Amino acid sequence: MNRRELMQWFSMGACVGGSSLFPVRDSLAASRGQPQASALKGLPPLKITDIQTILTAPEQIRLVIVKVMTSEPGLYGLGCATFTQRAYVVQTAVDQYLKPFLIGRNPDEIEDIWQSSYVSSYWRNGPVLFNAMSGVDMALWDIKGKRANMPVYQLLGGKCRFAVDLYYHASGRDFQEVEDEVRKAMARGYRYVRAQVNISGESTYGAGSGEQYTEDAERGGPENPKYIWEPLPYVRTIPKLFEHLRVKLGNDVELLHDMHERVPLDHAITLCKELEKYHLYFLEDPLPPEEIEHFRLLRQQTSTPLAMGELFNTRHEYVPLISNRLIDFIRIHLSQVGGLSVARKVAALAEFFGIRTAWHDPGDASPVGHAAALALELATYNCGVHEGHVFSPTVREVFPGTPEVRNGYLYATEAPGLGIDIDEKLAAKFPFPDRPNFDYHWGVTRRRDGTIIRP
């Protein structure tokens, strides 16, 4: 049979008896109309029946909780979608866009739900969509754990450790106050402490200076800056702080510090080199996310361990830092990057490059977010440390099952799923603060000449 005869034969087959020529294609087409056999023996099929957002602020921090309901009576999951600076926008993203997109879906299909949600808005990579997706994603893992009657960490591979080390936030107006705070933390069993000190006359990040940002027209602008911060006094002061702490406290405590991305590259290099002799556990956010390429230069100049990532949204930001070994700790925020599904992939990637996790988990991650991070940390070999936040008794009442802090460790509750719930009636008693719906800590601090400070 020559080429022309062969082509005629295929053409006739396609027109007359094509089904016999393409059995594989036919089989696939037929299978699409068939119900899929459940791999969950003895469990009924499950569907998402509703998705709700719960807004509450028991510590005056705007928390956004996502609740995913299922067709099985009483079975639901909780996730954290908190973006406290833009909470109502995230609520809209969940209620108006993700909810109608996901109603009727099988909640067991966590990965497919994430991937389809990721492209559902066409434009992606933004914090609002990712916060909304994070809440849904954590809730689906919570459902799966409850359905399996296992804590989520068991689904992720089981425990690598009995609990996770926390780091404590110590700050003060001067070196002595910071030292006193570190000693208090050590007396309570903490082995890791972040130390921040106020720079006199400046609006210093994380230092407990007592300066309150106002919510009126006196916030200042480029012509009349009000909250002032300059890099040089800061760069000169911080090495003296850690010299004081090491002389007074020795090396029995791991010390951390957060630069919060406020200095240019040359100052960052100088400070990192100066701090080498004080053996920090890590130095956080030495550079802003807009300048991550500078980590190549910084890494060549210093042996101080570097942590980065709390403002990252997507893989385009953190993958280069991990794959090129330019940081020592990855600090992404689970409620910001897309949830537990993303974070577990980041943790696995980081392990291959010798990088540890130190998820960003302050007070504006809800107890649900902390529970999700803890589940992953318990099952992650390269977990470094968990950012500590001591939730008030009121918050613990709103969120029964909030992970326990004992002797500087964070312990899981061992209940199925994420092990945490929410008292919706009590949560409703703590509405968002009656003021404009964003925080005034950001976008108001300036240099003396009026230039805005990032962040």
Using a 10 angstrom Cβ sphere, with 0-12 exposed, 13-18 middle and 19 or more buried, the burial of residue 213 is middle
Could you tell me how many residues make up the chain? 455
Show the 3-state SS of the chain: CCHHHHHHHHHHHHHHCHHHHCHHHHHHHHHCCCCCCCCCCCCCCCCEEEEEEEEECCCCCCEEEEEEEECCCCCEEEEECCCHHHHHHHHHHHHHHHHHHHCCCCCCCHHHHHHHHHCCCCCCCCHHHHHHHHHHHHHHHHHHHHHHCCEHHHHCCCCCCCCEEEEEEEEECCHHHHHHHHHHHHHCCCCEEEEEECCCCCCCCCCCCCCCCCCCHHHCCCCCCCEECCHHHHHHHHHHHHHHHHHHHCCCCEEEEECCCCCCHHHHHHHHHHHHHHCCCEEECCCCHHHHHHHHHHHHHCCCCEEECCCCCCHHHHHHHHHCCCCCEECCCHHHHCCHHHHHHHHHHHHHCCCEECCCCCCCCCHHHHHHHHHHHHCCCCECCEECCCCCHHHHHHCCCCCEEECCEEECCCCCECCCCCCHHHHCCCCCCCCCCCCCCCCCEECCCCCECCC
Which residue in the list 76, 192, 205, 281 is annotated as catalytic? 205
User: Could you give the C-alpha distances from 327 to 14, 247, 268, 274, 388, in angstroms and in order?
Assistant: 58, 28, 14, 18, 21
267 catalytic per annotation:
no
CA distance 284 to 303: 14
CA distance 44 to 291: 50
CA distance 7 to 18: 14
205 catalytic per annotation:
yes
Cα end-to-end span (Å), the chain: 73
Residue with tokens 């969940």: 94
**Amino acid in position 224:** N
Instruction: Enter the tokens of residue 44.
Output: 């009924």
Which residue in the list 244, 257, 260, 386 is annotated as catalytic? 260
Supply the residues annotated as catalytic: 205, 260
